Structure 1
Amino acid sequence: MTTPPRKWNRHNWPIAAAMIQYPNVLRDGRSVQDQSVEEWEATLADVVDTGFTELDPTDSWLRLADLSPARLDDFVKLAGSLNLAIPAISTSRRSVIDPEYGDAHLAYSHRVIETAARIGAGSVSLGLFGPLTDAQKAALWFWAVDGVRNPDDPQVWKKAVARIRELGRHAEEFGVELSLEMYEDTYLGTAASSVRFVTDVGLPNVGINADVGNLIRLHRPVEHWLEMVEKVAPYAKYWHVKNYTRVEDPVSGAIITHPAPLETGIVNYRVAIGLALEHGFGSPFLCEHYGGDGLSVSAANRDYLRCILPKTVSSDWETER
């Protein structure tokens, strides 16, 4: 297999901070959408203080695609003033096949693509996972409780493929890649089904967000992380990285998981990223972490990534440049 030239090295590879630890609704009932620029700046100061130079606004915090053009410009100018680049935009729980809101989520996803193109973000992450259930919201770790499932219905599968293909073609017009997030009980709930899904979509700019952390954290039997990565690595694009400890008791059948830093969890990211690089992976990363000070752990994860990414840009890229 001939892989494309690598355009980044460990020093400048885009590694973004996620904003999952910041809610969209404030304690006083206001939405982050309505905050002043100064209030946005106060939040982003945390990101800057932990050493990040890239940011994914993550629409569970701020929906850039739903800001007015003037407000969007204000946010982008603010990020620039803080030396924060925006290489990608991630969406969360806005499935285009949601039985109630699928049409609205599809329209929103088109706006996200257009917004990404407008601000110079080259990647968009989409998922087919639904909203948290009340039981998941009440649990200490939401992934310990089963949530919404994509239906075992070939017609709904075809609908999902058609809608993602529609979005992929739209993104292609702007040179934006779409990365589909692996997530339990969705059509990207296993490595094999993820590969099948993106193969059915059949567009070169549509790949897999190899977020195996979403799967190895489940309190149920799952495929070994290495087997998953081996299958999805050739299709990997914008990648959410996080890790977990996982304890399996073969006697009782009990399975317990807990968030962990990238270098100490069950997934060996040195190996996983190496496999993706062998297949020409050349997209940004997003650091996520649940529990505790997720932003600080994400910053440590960023530093770990910079230690294991390639030291130099490949010579063929330098020649082409």
Structure 2
Amino acid sequence: MPHTPENWPIGAALLNFTGTTADGRDRTAAGPEAWKQTLREVRLAGFDHVDLTDSWVRPGDLDTDGRRRLLETARSYDLAFSDIAVTRKSVITPDEEQAQRNIAYTKRTIDAAVDLEAPMVCVGLHDPFTEAQKDATWFWLAPGAEDEDTAENRAKAAERFRELGEYAGERGVGLSLEMYEGTFLGTADSSVELVTAVDLPNVGLCPDIGNIVRLHREVEDWREMLTKMLPHANYWQLKNYFRDHDPATGSYASAPAPLALGYIDYREAIGMALEAGFDGPMCVEHYGGDGLSVTAMNRDYIRGILAAKLPED
């Protein structure tokens, strides 16, 4: 059944909630009592879907009983999981032993997606924050790790994503590759090249152009990026930024913004996505401040655009 403006799965990202409890425990291991407050707040903000960011709880590190309890806790607040986001666990990180651990973790997360009834797992090639990124006001203002741009490394990324895609496909789960600077998913062209090399029907792109427009340098026009990537998109993380450039000094500035107010015109962008046939889950993200309240505003903004753009019954 086609999605409607009212039931399109739009998940609240949990970027603004920590993976450690107030008394210092690992939230993943702490169990339902450590999960309830966040899920309650998400529900009271008007969401019916959660985009399960693994910086909050790592479903791939829960056993079968833990996953059952997580699903039951979400259901107790009438919430469903629209996606699980695997963060900063690159399958081609230079430390090969770590790369293999990341692959194994991603497979466990795909298994968790089945148990949690989440249709999609989002993965990327970005590595953990550098010390400079940890110290920066906004982490994207400091240089992060970058993929070594060789044909061998590109082939390795495609091969390992294909392995994960096949694993996910056998379990009825979609896999989405997140756009992120400094990686083989760092431009629209390289993202399309990589997903085309993977060449699996359940593997698509997450065209998170917000990750690109926030950078303090010249970037590709967001419309051009979407035109290239949307035909391959199966899931979408949406966020926006104020962006400014002073030609006299060459300086750039950016800061997080609600979807309706930032540099990217999401009314136009969502229209482009619908025209390209996009029908996957959406995730609303926002860094800084009361991120949950801003993402709730973003959800309502998206539903209003869908109401205007989707055909009338």
Same fold by TM (over 0.5)?
yes
The amino acid of 1:124's aligned partner reads V
Q: Detail structure 1 runs of 4+ shifted over 4 Å in the superposition.
A: 310-315
Partner of 2:154: 157
Give, in whole Å, the separation in 1 of the partners of 2:139 and 2:33: 32
2:16 aligned residue (15, 21, 39): 21
Partner of 1:48: 43
Give, in whole Å, the separation in 2 of the partners of 1:90 and 1:259: 20
**TM-score (norm: length of structure 1):** 0.94
Partner of 1:132: 129
Partner of 1:213: 210
1:76 matched to 2:71? The reply is yes
Partner of 2:175: 178
- Identify the range of structure 1 (249-258 vs 64-73) with the bigger mean alpha-carbon deviation: 64-73
Unmatched runs of 5 consecutive residues or more in structure 2: none
Partner of 1:259: 256
Deviations 1:230-252 (A, max 9, x none): 11110111110000010000110
Partner of 2:84: 89
3-state SS of 2:244 partner: strand
3-state SS of 1:30 partner: coil
3-state SS of 1:56 partner: strand
Partner of 1:237: 234
1:12 aligned residue (7, 13, 17): 7
Give, in whole Å, the separation in 1 of the partners of 2:228 and 2:56: 32
* Cα pair 1:97 1:156 within 8 Å, conserved: yes
The amino acid of 1:210's aligned partner reads P
Higher relative contact order (CA 8 A, sep 6+): 1
Partner of 2:53: 58
The amino acid of 2:259's aligned partner reads L
Say what the alpha-carbon RMSD is for the aligned residues: 1.5
The amino acid of 1:92's aligned partner reads T
The amino acid of 2:210's aligned partner reads G
The amino acid of 2:16's aligned partner reads Q
* Cα pair 1:96 1:128 within 8 Å, conserved: yes
The amino acid of 1:96's aligned partner reads V
**TM-score (norm: length of structure 2):** 0.96
Deviation, 1:121, is: 1.0
The amino acid of 1:161's aligned partner reads A
CA 1:222 to 1:56, structure 2 compared with 1: closer, same or farther past 3 Å? same
- Identify the range of structure 1 (268-277 vs 284-293) with the bigger mean alpha-carbon deviation: 268-277
Partner of 2:139: 142
3-state SS of 2:53 partner: coil
Give, in whole Å, the separation in 1 of the partners of 2:68 and 2:136: 38
The amino acid of 1:9's aligned partner reads T
Unmatched runs of 5 consecutive residues or more in structure 1: 1-5
* Cα pair 1:129 1:183 within 8 Å, conserved: yes
Give, in whole Å, the separation in 2 of the partners of 1:95 and 1:57: 18
Partner of 2:247: 250
Partner of 1:3: none
- Identify the range of structure 1 (23-32 vs 58-67) with the bigger mean alpha-carbon deviation: 23-32
Give, in whole Å, the separation in 2 of the partners of 1:238 and 1:105: 21
Give, in whole Å, the separation in 2 of the partners of 1:43 and 1:123: 21
3-state SS of 2:287 partner: coil
3-state SS of 1:129 partner: coil
The amino acid of 1:178's aligned partner reads L
- Identify the range of structure 1 (243-252 vs 268-277) with the bigger mean alpha-carbon deviation: 268-277
Give, in whole Å, the separation in 1 of the partners of 2:250 and 2:310: 46
Deviations 1:11-69 (A, max 9, x none): 00000001101111234321101223122111211111111110022101100111121
Identity %: 47
